[in-house]
Amino acid sequence: MEMRDRLIELMKEWGRANNDSFPFESVADHLIADGIIAPPCKVGDTAWFVLEDDFPVHKWYLSPEPVTEVCSRGFFVSGYVNDENDMSNYTPWTQVGDEVFFSEEAAKAVLRERNIVLERIGRDE
């Protein structure tokens, strides 16, 4: 569950208990945008992507990228953007811990695990 969604859920639970009708979505966005609730990274941090490659050999690899923008629902890497609507460098918070990590050690551990699985699959075929 995304950080924003969990925050909204908690605020709505509180609101129901207090019979309150409040713009929870707007408050959640405001708290995240103003740094009251801190996202897991900041501009300048390195995001470690665990990516899959099929050529010339099927394997997993790491791609470290600098975080260039942080927003309430995710973050961007790389300063190069084709146009203002380009979302190719956007990563939602939901991918953190699965496809992207903010610790090189955690990313390398997942990389090792995924490559071991590929080796086992290759031997079984």
Model pLDDT for residues 1-50, shown as the tens digit of each residue = 577 787 778 777 777 766 666 676 777 777 777 666 778 899 999 999 99
Quote the percentage of the chain above a pLDDT of 70. 79
Alpha-carbon Rg for the chain, nearest whole angstrom, is 19
3-class SS at 105? helix
Query: What is the rounded (10 degree) CA torsion for 14, 19, 21, 26?
Result: -10
What is the arithmetic mean of pLDDT over 59-87? 81
pLDDT of residue 108: 96
pTM for the structure as a whole: 0.67
Across the beta sheet with 74-77, the strand order is: 90-92, 74-77, 59-71, 46-53, 100-101
Where exactly are the structural domains of the chain? 1-38, 40-125
